[in-house]
């Protein structure tokens, strides 16, 4: 079920991304040869007008074949060269190339706004007077920590915690943290709720998880449900989307910087296999969590596509900027070689991340 849900989420996000390129290219008078979901081999295709619409066998992606996106003889000097991307103004080229990213961000904003309309989990500190049914929720679990080993996961809400004959009655994020610290030498029983399932885990705090004291390796927060009217939901959704975009961009920049210096921890990055596992965890928490997770992935997809690496939208935009500065086009042969190298590097990165995902499973 997790695999099917992941494929559906990915297909929707790719459809949104490629739809952005497709609609803006069409609106700009540029010829679109093919609009495809998934990567070849082709399973199904239908020609409608000048565009072939296709569904392909490999579900991890999608594409739009725009005339002139990869310069060739037809786009440079063919009979329809005026409808080629490379013969449009630099502003239109950037607009077409960035449209997929823009559509992904807009889609995330709409999903998050919908979440606030139906009721979205929100920290009490952000909207104390409006949050209903606040609970102590595990926000992160440290890798290799006692909590992870015991089976506690991010998103679980803690309903009860005890040690020997001592039970915590007033459950708040701070009181749970204090209880764990005060009972650092004893086995602690944690009752936690995941979706509709009530679980009980036994865990022993250890040194080295948190500096200066024994801990089980979780971050906690008081989180409740925030429901907003449509107009406020749209505003709050926009602010949340902006904050997430900044946070994801900073995190990705730090990871890339560490990767260049050989210090990157690839175990902290999830590829398709890892995301399937995350989808399974999120699906147990309910529809709103799936909605939020989809929005999060959509923003990640947007940010990653803006990295100025050949083969990504950001790399193609960089080419346009370079051409505008130098006043002449980059040679098609050079552009295509760089795009091929960029694509090969992305495949290599995907292989490394997927390998780490598989290692985590065992």
What are the pLDDT digits (tens) for 6-33? Answer: 888 888 888 899 999 999 999 999 999 9
- Considering only residues 103 and 80, tell me which one the structure prediction assigns the higher pLDDT: 103
Give residue 344's region: left, alpha or beta (phi > 0; psi -120 to 50): alpha
Q: What per-residue confidence (pLDDT) applies to 35?
A: 93
Q: What per-residue confidence (pLDDT) applies to 360?
A: 63
Percentage of residues in the chain having pLDDT higher than 70: 90
Active site residue 18: yes
Confidence check: pLDDT of 54 > 70: yes
pLDDT digits (tens, 9 = 90+) for 148-196: 999 998 889 999 999 887 888 788 888 988 888 888 778 899 999 987 8
Q: 131-226 is classed in which CATH architecture?
A: Roll (2.30)
- Considering only residues 246 and 288, tell me which one the structure prediction assigns the higher pLDDT: 246
- Considering only residues 261 and 117, tell me which one the structure prediction assigns the higher pLDDT: 117
Could you give the CA distance from residue 302 to residue 296 in angstroms, rounded to a whole number? 10
The pair of structure tokens assigned to 215 is 């801990």
**Residue 146: which residues within 8 A CB-CB, separation 6 or more?**
203, 204, 205, 206, 209, 216, 217
Q: What are phi and psi of 66, to 5 degrees?
A: -100, 130
Q: What per-residue confidence (pLDDT) applies to 116?
A: 93
Burial code (b: 16+ CB inside 10 Å, e: under 16) for 226-239 equals bbbeeeebbebbee
Global pTM value: 0.79
Could you give the CA distance from residue 115 to residue 288 in angstroms, rounded to a whole number? 6
SS3 355: helix
Q: What per-residue confidence (pLDDT) applies to 271?
A: 59
Q: Among 144, 141, 143, which Cα is nearest to 152's? A: 141
- In the chain, where the domains are located: 2-116+295-361, 131-226
Could you give the CA distance from residue 70 to residue 84 in angstroms, rounded to a whole number? 10
pLDDT digits (tens, 9 = 90+) for 303-354: 988 988 887 889 889 989 998 998 888 887 887 788 788 778 777 777 776 6
**Residue 102: which residues within 8 A CB-CB, separation 6 or more?**
20, 302
**Helix H or strand E encompassing 212:** none
Q: What per-residue confidence (pLDDT) applies to 267?
A: 60
Q: Among 40, 111, 120, 147, which Cα is nearest to 298's? A: 111
**Which listed residue (18, 34, 50, 69) is catalytic?**
18
pLDDT digits (tens, 9 = 90+) for 194-225: 878 899 999 988 887 777 778 888 999 998 88
Split at pLDDT 50, 70, 90, the class of 362 is: low
Could you give the CA distance from residue 299 to residue 348 in angstroms, rounded to a whole number? 22
pLDDT digits (tens, 9 = 90+) for 102-145: 999 999 999 999 999 999 888 887 665 678 888 899 988 888 88
**Helix H or strand E encompassing 134:** strand 131-141
């Amino acid at each position: 079920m997790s695999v099917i849900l992941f494929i559906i989420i990915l297909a929707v996000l790719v459809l949104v991304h490629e739809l952005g390129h497709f609609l803006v290219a069409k609106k700009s008078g540029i010829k679109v040869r093919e609009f495809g979901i998934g990567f070849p081999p082709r399973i199904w295709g239908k020609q409608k007008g000048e565009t072939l619409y296709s569904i392909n066998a490999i579900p991890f992606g999608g594409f739009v074949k725009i005339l002139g996106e990869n310069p060739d003889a037809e786009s440079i000097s063919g009979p329809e060269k005026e409808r080629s991307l490379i013969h449009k103004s630099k502003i239109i080229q950037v607009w077409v190339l960035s449209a997929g990213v823009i559509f992904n961000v807009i889609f995330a904003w709409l999903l998050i706004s919908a979440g606030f309309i139906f009721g979205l989990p929100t920290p009490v500190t952000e909207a104390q007077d409006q949050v209903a049914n606040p609970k102590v929720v595990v926000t992160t679990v440290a890798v290799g920590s006692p909590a992870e080993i015991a089976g506690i996961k991010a998103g679980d809400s803690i309903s009860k915690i005890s040690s020997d004959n001592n039970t915590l009655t007033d459950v708040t994020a701070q009181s749970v943290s204090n209880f764990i610290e005060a009972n650092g030498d004893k086995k602690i029983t944690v009752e936690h709720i995941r979706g509709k399932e009530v679980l009980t885990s036994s865990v022993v705090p250890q040194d080295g998880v948190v500096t200066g004291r024994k801990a089980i390796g979780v971050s906690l927060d008081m989180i409740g449900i925030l429901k907003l009217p449509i107009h406020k939901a749209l505003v709050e959704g926009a602010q949340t989307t902006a904050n997430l975009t900044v946070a994801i961009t900073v995190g990705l920049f730090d990871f890339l910087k560490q990767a260049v210096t050989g210090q990157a921890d690839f175990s902290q990055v999830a590829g398709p296999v890892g995301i399937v596992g995350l989808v399974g965890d999120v699906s147990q928490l309910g529809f709103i969590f799936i909605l939020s997770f989809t929005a999060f992935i959509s923003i990640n997809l947007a940010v990653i596509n803006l990295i100025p690496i050949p083969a990504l939208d950001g790399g193609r935009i960089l080419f346009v900027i370079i051409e505008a500065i130098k006043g002449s086009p980059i040679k098609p042969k050079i552009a295509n070689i760089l795009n091929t190298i960029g694509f090969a590097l992305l495949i290599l990165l995907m292989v490394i991340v997927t390998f780490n995902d598989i290692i985590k499973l065992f």
